[in-house]
């Protein structure tokens, strides 16, 4: 008997192996507290790695959600990098184009592109380069999700019928740009937008259920946080399974956050969660993403 459809709803790629190695070595994951047995992936994150990982784990699709200037902040970068951001998005789409199972999302940034420029660029990437969604990271990019400069992006996504997938988690210092509660203005003002809040709130996971109950049109992915279950600032397996059950497992998609973590490991964790029926866990492995993200 064939198994469930497997879809990675949150994967990253890098242009060169050395870039991936440096990024994985220098990126500090602090928000979940202490945990000694985190299982990181061996892969560097180039497209050939992703293809190999998908093939070995039996995945039919993966959503590639690259972020321009990852590891730095657009607040410090300035608007002169507009052409570099556009070129980065074209690279992402062109890189995955030969691979039928890979679905590219593009990045935009209110510090770099004006609202009109963002709208025009997103439309071009969707209509001419195969983009299927937009990825945001308010913590690294330092903007409020309800920032008026982002309104053209959200409106364009609505017009094109594409989702937004956005990082969530606490801010180490400064305003809490990416906590689940920070999404309330966006969810309030754009109820028809398909929004996937990544990491189930990350280190701010205790806020997630409140937002999920207040906005039943919000969706979530469970990548990264699930590898940190049992960390000193992370939920236990028991709490995590209950959280997903209370949100509604039909609203949660599985992602790996590759190349930090492995695809087959992500399946293993989801299938081991308590409180969820077998069919609910299997839907999280892929069918939910097919439905929610229009794959």
On average, the pLDDT of the chain sits at 95
Question: Mean pLDDT lowest for which of 65-79, 124-138, 256-270, 281-295?
Answer: 65-79
Percent of the chain with pLDDT over 90: 92
Q: What is the pLDDT of residue 74?
A: 53
- Following DSSP, what letter does each residue of 226-284 receive, concatenated? GGGTTSTTS--HHHHHHHHHHH-GGGEE----BTSS-HHHHHHHHHT-SS--HHHHHII
State what percent of residues in the chain have pLDDT above 70.
96
* pLDDT at res. 189: 98
- Picking from 251, 256, 184, the residue whose alpha carbon sits closest to that of residue 224 is 256
Reply yes or no on whether the pLDDT at 60 is more than 80: yes
Q: What is the pLDDT of residue 70?
A: 53
Stronger pLDDT, 70 or 249, i.e. the higher one: 249
- Cα 40 versus chain centre, distance: 18
Alpha-carbon span 113 to 117, nearest angstrom = 6
Do the Cβ atoms of 228 and 214 come closer than 8 Å? Answer: no
Cα-flanking dihedrals φ and ψ of residue 19, to 5°?
-60, -45
pLDDT for position 207: 98
Q: Which of 93, 101, 98, 100 is nearest to 59 (CA)?
A: 101
Domains of the chain, residue spans: 7-292
Residue 77 confidence (pLDDT) above 90: no
Residues 159-197 pLDDT 10s: 999 999 999 999 998 889 999 999 999 999 999 999 999
Residue 82: Cβ-neighbour burial (10 angstroms; 0-12, 13-18, 19+): middle
Q: What does the alpha-carbon distance between residue 199 and residue 43 come to, in Å, rounded to a whole number?
A: 21
What is the per-residue pLDDT for 73? 54
What mean pLDDT do residues 63-81 have?
71
Q: Which residue has the higher pLDDT, 173 or 256?
A: 256
Q: Which two tokens stand for residue 69?
A: 């200037």
Mean per-residue pLDDT, 141-156: 97
Q: Candidates 3.20.20.140, 2.60.40.10, 3.50.50.60, 3.10.20.600; correct CATH number of 7-292?
A: 3.20.20.140
Rounded Cα–Cα distance for residues 269 and 226 (Å) = 7
Residue 250 reports pLDDT greater than 80: yes
């Amino acid at each position: 008997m064939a198994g469930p459809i497997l879809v990675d709803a949150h994967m990253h790629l890098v242009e060169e192996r050395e870039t991936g190695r440096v990024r994985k070595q220098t990126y500090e994951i602090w928000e979940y507290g202490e945990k000694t047995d985190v299982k990181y992936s061996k892969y560097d994150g180039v497209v050939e790695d992703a293809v190999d990982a998908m093939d070995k784990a039996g995945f039919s699709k993966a959503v590639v959600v690259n972020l321009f200037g990852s590891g730095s902040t657009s607040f410090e970068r300035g608007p002169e990098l507009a052409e570099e951001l556009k070129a980065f998005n074209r690279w992402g789409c062109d890189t995955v184009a030969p691979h039928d199972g890979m679905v590219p999302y593009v990045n935009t940034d209110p510090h770099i592109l004006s609202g009109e420029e963002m709208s025009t660029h997103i439309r071009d990437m969707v209509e001419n380069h195969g983009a299927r969604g937009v990825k945001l990271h308010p913590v690294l990019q330092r903007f409020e999700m309800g920032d008026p400069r982002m309104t053209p992006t959200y409106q364009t996504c609505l017009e094109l019928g594409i989702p937004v997938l956005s990082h969530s988690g606490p801010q180490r210092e400064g305003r809490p740009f990416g906590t689940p509660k920070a999404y309330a203005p966006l969810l309030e003002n754009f109820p028809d937008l398909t929004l996937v809040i990544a990491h189930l709130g990350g280190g701010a996971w205790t806020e997630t259920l409140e937002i999920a109950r207040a906005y039943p049109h919000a969706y979530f992915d469970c990548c990264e946080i699930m590898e940190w279950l049992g960390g000193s600032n992370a939920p236990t397996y028991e709490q995590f399974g209950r959280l997903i059950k209370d949100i509604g497992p039909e609203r949660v998609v599985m992602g790996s956050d590759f190349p930090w973590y492995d695809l087959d490991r992500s399946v293993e964790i989801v299938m081991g969660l308590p409180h969820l029926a077998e069919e609910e866990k299997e839907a999280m492995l892929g069918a939910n993403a097919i439905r929610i993200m229009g794959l």
